[in-house]
Amino acid sequence: MMTGRPVAASVTESVEVTTAADANPSGTIHGGVLLQLVDRVGSIAGMRHSEGRCTTAAVERVVFHTASHVGDILTVRAQVVDVGRTSMAVVVTIDAERVEDRQLRRIVTGYLRLVAVDEAGRPRPVPDVVPETDEEREAQAAARARRDPR
């Protein structure tokens, strides 16, 4: 029988620096680059929680709050906030830091639905997630409200 795992067990963080290769002609970072970070770091959080492979089933919502520019330091943070039988709701945030003045700003919030899969690619059960703080309980309630009624 599977036991629950705390949200903290899935927390994944990555730090990146943006380069000219990530930017459009106006010097802001392409949304697709940011989406790739959301998916990659979110998937790692899902793998940590489910202790195995997972795949992205849905991008429930992505909010681009403000632009990021070449040279920004990005901190990408993901965590599993709710689970179904085989699926996981993951929240991913990206904060940008301007290195010159250390100004930090939230640039992206993403909500993913991942499915844990076995070696044959079939869905497999995942352990429950156990929120331990008020913030984690609020994130779980919000994920349940977003859940597709399928």
pTM of the model: 0.93
83: domain CATH number is 3.10.129.10
Expressed as residue numbers, the domain containing 80 is 5-146
Integer angstrom CA distances of residue 34 from 19, 40, 65, 127, 141: 13, 10, 12, 29, 26
Instruction: From 115, 108, 117, 113, select the one nearest 147 (Cα to Cα).
Output: 113
**What pLDDT is attached to residue 27?**
87
Per-position DSSP letters for 5-22, written without gaps between them: EEGGGG-EEEEEE--GGG
pLDDT at 136 over 70: yes
Residues above pLDDT 90, as percent of the chain? 91
Q: Which carries the bigger pLDDT value, residue 2 or residue 26?
A: 26
Domain total in the chain: 1
